[in-house]
Amino acid sequence: MNDGTAMSQLVVWPGARGEWVSCPPDEITWLDRMLLSGGRDTTLHRSPRCAGLRYVHYRWELFSRDTTHMVYVAAYAQKVPLQYQAVQAAARHVLPMAPARYETVPVRLDSGSWLISVGQWVLPLCVDVPAQRRSEPTVPLSESQPLTQEVPAPPNGSSRSGPRRQPRPDAVPRVRAFFERNAAAQLAMAYYYQQYILGAVGAQAVPMTEVAVALDLRGEGAISDYKKELQRRIWNEQRHQRELAEFLIANGLLGPADLERAMKAAVANERSGRADAARERLRYRPRKS
């Protein structure tokens, strides 16, 4: 490197190879059917419709274009066996199923040892770990590693000047009752706030039109109506849009399980053609007479 920056090294351990394999920094390493299962598992995708590892801005990151599998990332430790159930339970990051023709917000992999689970397959990998230490069960990890699910990031600009109105004492059961009666609203809000649920740095809400297309809603106005109703149930007023995601996630009213259901619904709509119909409906709305 001409600027003196040391290039980070990444190696993976494909079960079919039985040895550490270096990932070239100038190309994507696809976590495809061949790498994960030696080509045996036909439920896994081929590149470029799967998860992948790439070297960007002097760091390794994991991203996913997989529309049918969530991707789980756990720190490699002695208490985490090489089983997909254990990796999912200990996951520090979870990449949701990707909408068609898009990819998920990437996850940065700092120096250390990691386990990645896709479907029922687990892939060990190491970032900048000396060869003689890669078999050790506990390789120290950077303390600055962001926690994707453990600490949900508050919405951008959630702090505001002046006194902040507190939620109603019965806000949580009121919202829970609303979601129980309106499952579509819960799925829509999970899809809308997916980056917040995953704890992405600088999280932003998904555009309302994209949510309406993915979940076959009547239009982006449906999201606005859900937000207004939720604010009314929580604060008795509608001036808390920036605090809404924080409240829903912090109180367990939205979480990874809800996002997974929303993503599955979006994939089903894409496959059935309902998403295409929604795109046409929202793009060519008739003019009012």
Mark whether 179 and 277 lie in a shared domain. yes
pLDDT at 202: 67
C-alpha distances out from residue 41 to 32, 71, 74, 121, 248, Å: 10, 16, 22, 9, 38
pLDDT at 79: 62
pLDDT at 136: 43
Pick from 86, 117, 133: which residue ends a domain? 133
Mark whether 182 and 71 lie in a shared domain. no
The domain total for the chain is 2
Mark whether 129 and 17 lie in a shared domain. yes
Q: Going residue by residue through the chain (289 aa), what tens digit of pLDDT does each one get? A: 344 456 788 999 987 777 889 999 989 999 999 999 988 888 899 998 999 999 988 889 999 999 889 999 998 876 666 788 888 888 888 898 888 778 888 899 989 899 999 998 999 999 986 655 444 433 333 332 222 333 333 343 333 434 457 888 899 999 999 999 999 999 999 999 988 888 765 678 889 999 999 999 988 889 999 999 999 999 988 778 778 988 898 888 998 889 999 999 999 998 999 988 988 888 744 445 4
Pick from 133, 160, 188: which residue ends a domain? 133
- Decide if 163 is inside a domain: no
- Decide if 175 is inside a domain: yes
Cα atoms found within 13 Å of the Cα of residue 139, Cβ hemisphere only: 22
- Decide if 146 is inside a domain: no
By residue range, what is the domain housing residue 72?
Answer: 10-133
In degrees, to the nearest 5, what angle opens at C-alpha 232 toward C-alphas 228 and 234?
Answer: 115
